[in-house]
Chains A and B, each alone.
Chain A
């Protein structure tokens, strides 16, 4: 049997997803037996021109991590889509926008002002901003254009499968790779994970009645390690997040942050956590309710931590 042809790419991401691919441990040897990796910028020295020379649909599958933030990200997404039979959005950034998607609370101008002018360690008296094209004695230099709004991979090209997680857990990665290796592929559009239910469904912490008078941030309390973190007032996102990770964070005393995306069938993960959270506030008095929610310091950033570009509103309005 001919070996499977794989490529891996990173767009706007931290590199964690590439490391997560290696976290499959000794299964990497099995992968090497059945698959050839033709392009993997973080690990192997290939050029974009090598990919451009490949015939269309000559790659079996592309694991694409990272959001679409620059013209380079967008260009390579289109290129790899054309060359690959199967396009997989791998990890939160590619699937939902992820952490880079939090930039959608701002726009290019405010991000550039912050990064190139205002930061305390920056000395830029002439207010020089990055330019896509610049003339130097040797000729014209070009860098990718920085877009105003971060997009998901599926908002840019046609995507066949999604692998959730920041980064995806080892077993989730293997589930996707195994499907590719064995050719037993799920229906197009499937979010590949061991669960379609919530993180709570697989979390062993003891759950009693959900009624909350005060919300806490993680540094403010030491939670009881046996009890549901949400019931103790921590903003544990498990109720609105797809399982499959094994509820690792809550079992380590850290609230779920929602990285596996929405449960099956849900659009706008953030609004569903918002709804669940607000419903269990144990108070009927409008003023006291305001006081209780004032303990949630950054609701939009908490609810859309990984999914702002994939949410219904996609970005903040900026006047």
Chain B
């Protein structure tokens, strides 16, 4: 069997983190090709249902990146995300999904290097955890 390559869906806010990812690209910084980026206007737009849907459709992890606290273009969107992600992680752990699979972090428009290192870190963590395979744990489909 081929080596497991994690699939990671990354929701990036338009104002900071997407620009940070763009900077990583234009600066020719090498980072793991395992992320599939989806641009959203604000990390606050990332409803928990988006994350569940990504996991249901086969993502092994979901990364949400927003502006640093205090820097949100919409003043407090990233704080809402901070609260939601905390509660979502607690809920997911009851559903057998490890904390590392759903990660929230902050990347500003000037932090291309930071973006690359967050992506690399997360990819390695998920590689170590192995594939998610939702609904895994059944003995038999009923």
Contact = CB atoms under 8 A, between A and B. Distances in A.
B49 A299 contact: no
Interface stretch (A90-98, A184-192, A198-206, A264-272): A264-272
Interface string A281-319: 101101001100100101111010000000111111111
A191 B141 CA distance: 27
Contact of A300 (B55, B69, B95, B139): B95
How big is chain B's contact interface, by range?
35 or more
Contact of A293 (B56, B90, B134, B141): B90
Contacts of B69: 284
A278 B53 contact: no
Contacts of A311: 52
B83 A289 contact: yes
B33 interface: no
A74 B142 contact: yes
A249 interface: no
A109 B57 CA distance: 27
A317 to B, nearest CB: 3
A318 B139 CA distance: 10
How big is chain A's contact interface, by range?
35 or more
Contact of A312 (B56, B80, B132): B56
Interface in B96-142: 96-97, 132-142
A149 interface: yes
Contacts of B140: 108, 147-148
Contacts of A267: 49
B136 A299 contact: no
A107 B83 CA distance: 31
Contacts of B138: 107, 148-149, 315
A151 interface: yes
Contact of B80 (A107, A151, A279, A298): A279
Contacts of B55: 312-313
Contacts of A314: 134-135
Contacts of B49: 267-268, 271-272, 275, 312
A89 interface: no
B64 to A, nearest CB: 13
A277 interface: yes
Interface of A: 68-69, 71, 74, 105, 107-109, 147-151, 267-268, 270-272, 274-275, 277-279, 281, 283-284, 286, 289-290, 293, 296, 298-301, 303, 311-319
Given A275-B84, A312-B56, 10 more contacts: A108-B140, A147-B140, A147-B141, A271-B48, A272-B47, A279-B84, A293-B87, A299-B87, A299-B94, A319-B137
Per CB-CB distance, the 8 closest pairs between chain A and chain B, nearest first, are A147-B142, A318-B137, A317-B96, A300-B94, A278-B84, A271-B48, A278-B83, A312-B52
